[in-house]
Amino acid sequence: LPPLAVFGRTVSLFPLLFVLTVTAVKDGYEDWRRHRSDRKENNREALVFQSGQFEPKKWKKIQAGEVVKIWANETIPCDMVILGTSDPSGIAYIQTMNLDGESNLKTRYARQEMASVVANGGSISGLVRCEQPNRNIYEFTANMEFRGHKLPLSQSNIILRGCQLKNTEWVIGVVVYTGQETKAMLNSAASPAKRSKLEGYMNRETLWLSIFLLIMCSVVALGMGLWLERHKEQLDTLPYYRKRYFTQGRKDGERYKYYGIAMETFFSFLSSIIVFQIMIPISLYITMELVRLGQSYFMIGDKHMYDSSTDSRFQCRSLNINEDLGQIRYIFSDKTGTLTQNKMEFRRASVHGKNYGASLLPAESLHEVNVAGFPRRWKLQSEISVDLELMGMLHKGMDGEDKIDAHEFFLTLAACNTVIPIITPGLPAGDPGFDSLENMEEIVYQGESPDEQALVAAASAYGYTLCERTSGHIVVDVNGQKLRLDVLGLHEFDSVRKRMSVVIRFPDNSVKVLVKGADTSMFSTFAKGTETDDFIRISTQGHLTQYASLGLRTLVVAARDLTGEELEEWQCMYEDASTSLTDRAAKLRQTTALIECNLRLLGATGIEDKLQDGVPEAIESLRQAGIKVWVLTGDKQETAISIGLSCKLLTTDMHQIIINGSSEDECRNLLLEAKSKYCHKPSNCSDQPWKWTKDAAMDYLGILNYSKTGKRSAWSFGKEESMGSPSLALVIDGTSLVYILEKDLEAELFELATGCRVVLCCRVAPLQKAGVVDLVKSRTDDMTLAIGDGANDVSMIQMADVGVGICGQEGRQAVMASDFAMGQFRFLKRLLLVHGHWNYQRVGFLVLYNFYRNAVFVFMLFWYILCTAFSTTSALTDWSSVFYSVIYTSVPTIVVGILDKDLSHRTLLQHPKLYGAGHRQESYNLHLFWITMLDTLWQSLVLFYIPLYTYRGSSIDIWSLGSLWTIAVVILVNIHLAMDIQRWVIITHAAVWGSIVITYACMVVLDSIPVFPNYWTIYHLALSPTYWLTILLIIIVALLPRFFCKVVYQIIWPSDIQIAREAEAQRKRSYFKPKPGRDSG
């Protein structure tokens, strides 16, 4: 529109065309790549059974019901039920890396009835009924009618699209889901997007800038209307506002660029928006993305966060919340695999009421025991220490209840699991530590749970080696004699029962139920027995408490014999439940009630999961930084408390508040009792918050102490003073959380928990972990961080403001759902205290500087428009206005946002309390925004009026003055930036001073083009000393108040960061200072 053509058409279109072109090219390229990838994927071929043989067929044409053959290392094209494999037992090994990120091999089975037919080359005809397509990759409910029998199919019988076949020559299966109905495609949705807290505050300030913009535009429009009203009789004689054409011709008498006072006022408002649009820092969002990308590059390359044991480096999976790492208040951590190594070692065993494992011998002593009569055939991948007394009892030819219990105890450990043995024969003779190893075979156990692998390996070390597993039977080598056991049914572990059971038929046709599970769920299933049974139960409970106090993970082992009637009843219910297509899990739980009762206690196990290196030190530093660490674990309470003590999360002088309620009323009473004991509420006002008493946990971790007058005391670098009174630790179990999180007790728990220094949640389910995070996140503005390593931590990681995944032993689900990933928990200390602090300081300064940089330019234009009859003309060239944010001042901002460091990493790690600057929002807050705007207002006035009064009586044209304003504002904002740079490197110097040089170069080029109105102005100005003195005067006068305030503030009211910086500089000076007594000559 001509009335709105403030800039030239080319200049107006240039930014828009540039953005649209880049966006179109980027999106078009991504669409082309996506289309090419989809076409390549859909046109891949697989072998499909057609016309009596397997023939190639494109993936996109495969249909449900067809039979597919997959060779080793090929990718599965669809979800298919296994009919048979190259292994006669029907086992297939797959890798699910593309599906859930796990690199370890999984085992899948063909039903034994079908596997034998496929192995013999026979034909299969049947009908598969399965559930509707869904996104649950860990469950599959179906059944198959085969030769008059209905066979249950579960998740262990299906291979999902995207998996790869490994260590298996071929597999044949029937297709059940294809295309968009496969579980992989249904799970293709991205994880929830997260926004940084500082970006939310930035949007608030952007709203204020929008208000400023509207006010300035309204002032210009109102002034324009008043000016036109005042000069309406003179409009025909003005060059721009003539009402009619004066030239002869067909346009004589028509309106000339004038639309009436009302419309001219309206057009003036719109034109002002176009001129002042730079006030809204749209480019800031692009700048922040580039800065975050650069920050992520240096975080990924930090060698101090590289884990050599897993060969994993730090990962930035989300680029928009880097600065949130500098404001974390709460850390919610898993225990197993996060604080601990998740490398389980069998340490203790309670068998028949007797404790074993107090004195373990090295694995080399096994050879001496086995030479006595049972030659050792199996070599485990890792050495295991054993108890010599327990080993001797198992191998001596004596009978008794203790030996029978020990036999069934280790048989249960070997049989009640889903572990797959992989045997590697042909170890060379003469291996160190053994005399005769011609028959020695190495055995490796593959399993989804490190606990199960540790238990099976321990059973093997004691002479009960699981050496073969199929869907229908297992083979256990018991002291050199192979024992084949038929598996009649397997009830896998679930979070409701908290136990696992297997029904086994022995060679003598006797049937037993072997069970293992958590003590909380097992002791209620034992049969009432004799005094001996009661003694064993009491002794075992004492041993469990002892194991938990040592930080061991505990399990209880039990068994029972099944009669023919019980077996028949169970088989009937099991077959109906396992083949059901609806509520299969609930029906299977009902079936377990028939057999998981009246059990006979065999013993208990204690597995050690050692702490990761550096965990105690990391937790202590995080707590000194003012961060509260909450541990959410599925382990029992005693184990969690023991680990808490060993990792310095808990201390002996803490008051422990235990909340173990079994009903809503009990939980409410426990919470109220704790609150009444450790805190009180003012009686004069029921709406006032709770006030914690002196013996409760207090927020003493801040660096600065605020008095009632608001004055702050400086922080010294001396030894941290410990708090005189003990603090609180809250310990709560999952059962209590069921009643608290689902009822109206959340507020009570929140008030109690936030007043404690430490919170331990035990026996919690995955959704409860997310519920605890949401409890804090939804009630405070504090930043939360969740860290874990397993699939059970995914919901917690996605719920928190920042999610961190550990590359551990439990796969990569947590890593794939996280925002950041690392190899060890101890790296969290450096991530938050160093990179988090740096990123927050940089981005906070970046946002404020961009607000200032754009506002000072707009205010300068605003003062000019007020002096030019409220017209929207500009003294600056169109290209200078466009290049100001794109070229002249953008690069220094990005470089400083990536490279600037207010303190060294050594200082930040040595004094964790410096992290509190992020909690207090020292780098970015509303107070700093208004101070910046006041400073901007002053600088813009100086910038505009000094040149105006300097050249007031001269004959300089408006383009020359605009050229002076352009170079002056660029130099001013760059020196303003230089005043706040803490770390100068070569790239920083090049960016800051180079941008000034580039600005001069661009102006020389633009002023050398004859068609531009500013032709040759820079050459005339540069020859005048007044030009250079004016620029110098502008810089000094504009920045003098800012310089004075900075000096006064640092001398009288220094912040922690400034004190630390001065101490750092003092150390450097003392380091380079010559030593006294040394001859300098």
Q: How does pLDDT run across 635-683, given as a tens digit for each residue? A: 777 778 878 888 888 887 788 888 888 788 888 888 888 888 876 544 4
- Strand pairing report for 126-130 and 340-351: unpaired
Q: Residue 368: which pLDDT band, with cuts at 50, 70 and 90?
A: very low
Q: Is 342 within 8 Å of 363 (Cβ atoms)?
A: no
Token duo for residue 564? 């023919």
Sheet with 758-762, edge to edge strand ranges? 315-316, 820-822, 802-806, 783-788, 328-333, 628-632, 758-762, 728-733, 655-659
Please say if the pLDDT value at position 579 is more than 60.
yes
Tokens 């049947």 label which residue? 126
1001 membership: H or E segment, kind and range: helix 986-1006
Token duo for residue 664? 């809503």
Helices (H), 723-833: 734-742, 746-754, 766-777, 794-799, 813-817, 827-830
Q: Is 819 within 8 Å of 302 (Cβ atoms)?
A: no
Q: Is 1008 within 8 Å of 899 (Cβ atoms)?
A: no
User: What are phi and psi for residue 578, nearest 5 degrees?
Assistant: -75, -20
DSSP calls for 415-442: HSS--EEEEE--PPTT-TT-S--TT-EE
Q: Which amino acid is at 1079?
A: D
Q: How far apart are the two ends of the chain, measured CA to CA in Å? A: 79
Tokens 């059970």 label which residue? 792
Q: Is 334 a catalytic residue?
A: yes
* Pick from 884, 898, 1073, 886: nearest CA to 972: 884
Token duo for residue 154? 């579960």
Residue 521 CA, chain-centre distance (Å), reads 33
Q: Residue 846: which pLDDT band, with cuts at 50, 70 and 90?
A: very high
Q: How does pLDDT run across 223-278, given as a tens digit for each residue? A: 888 888 887 777 666 665 555 555 555 655 555 566 677 887 888 888 888 888 78
Q: Which amino acid is at 161?
A: R
Q: Give the range among 110-114, 138-142, 162-166, 368-372 with minimum mean pLDDT.
A: 368-372
Separation of alpha carbons 347 and 186, rounded Å:
43
> Exactly one of 79, 100, 324, 334 is catalytic; which is it?
334
Sheet with 45-50, edge to edge strand ranges? 53-58, 45-50, 67-71, 170-177, 79-85, 158-159
Q: If you count them, how many residues does the chain have? A: 1081
> Under 8 Å CB-to-CB from 21, ≥6 apart: which residues?
none
Q: What is the mean pLDDT of residues 91-101?
A: 74
958-980 vs 890-899: helix crossing angle, rounded to 10: 0
Q: Is 235 within 8 Å of 227 (Cβ atoms)?
A: no
Q: What is the pLDDT of residue 365?
A: 52
Please say if the pLDDT value at position 716 is more than 50.
no
Separation of alpha carbons 411 and 400, rounded Å:
17
Q: How does pLDDT run across 608-629, given as a tens digit for each residue? A: 877 888 898 999 999 999 999 9
90: left (phi over 0), alpha (psi -120 to 50) or beta: left
User: What are phi and psi for residue 769, nearest 5 degrees?
Assistant: -60, -45
Q: Give the range among 115-119, 184-188, 301-305, 684-688 with minimum mean pLDDT.
A: 684-688
∠ CA 681-682-685, rounded to 5° = 115
Q: What is the mean pLDDT of the chain?
A: 81
Separation of alpha carbons 877 and 907, rounded Å:
48
∠ CA 521-338-187, rounded to 5° = 80
Q: What is the pLDDT of residue 873?
A: 76
- Strand pairing report for 820-822 and 315-316: antiparallel
* Pick from 665, 659, 641: nearest CA to 651: 641
